[in-house]
Chains A and B, each alone.
Chain A
């Protein structure tokens, strides 16, 4: 059984650019959630995907968007990057039978200059 994997590990972008982060869910899990963790803070919920559709969103602007694929992997896209978008982006997978039990990947560290 493989855990949650994310790519890339680190990324440096400049303000105004666009970025795509990727996540592969844990084997047997069909639900993916994305979180943003600023330095020294707890993770903040961005959105959740189930059956390739967004089924819940936190307090993030529309320039944060996502996709889920038939194999349950997922992408997080962020357009028009701002300096405050610098953070650790975490993907968590879960089963729709126990969606509260979420297992996190190692994260992607995004730095916006």
Chain B
């Protein structure tokens, strides 16, 4: 119940196209859903995040769509660029004891072809 399932595992998109990554969760106690971008040898960088009382959030070329009833959320990258090539992780924040831990999906390796 603590899992976050992410798909696809890898994705190849042409430059200028739309990249879409999907995540699903079971635990209704999750109250915060961030997306992270990670380049090889680097730590994850917070990209965009959403709370369950909002159905969509847009920041520049990045949009999160959130479907609370289906327990699903997705990241859309518009006008994808070669510099967007990285591994993307969805996550969900869960209260544990007095803490807030992040539960991560397995990651999606995104390649943008020039």
| A65-B44 Cα distance, complex, nearest whole Å | 23
| A44-B107 Cα distance, complex, nearest whole Å | 12
| A105-B32 Cα distance, complex, nearest whole Å | 20
* A-B interface pairs (CB < 8 A), number: 76
| A106-B38 Cα distance, complex, nearest whole Å | 10
In this complex, how many residues of chain A approach chain B with their Cβ under 8 Å: the count is 29
Interface centre among A4, A90, A102, A107 (most CB of B within 10 A): A102
Interface footprint category on B: 20 to 34
Any chain B CB within 8 A of the CB of A17?
no
Q: Are B107 and A100 in contact (CB under 8 A)?
A: no
Known: A101-B49, A104-B45. A57 touches B97 (CB 8 A): yes
Q: Which of B56-64, B69-77, B78-86, B98-106 contacts A (4 or more CB under 8 A)?
A: B98-106
| Chain B residues packing against A (C-beta within 8 Å) | 6, 31-32, 34, 36, 42-46, 49, 89, 91, 93, 96-107
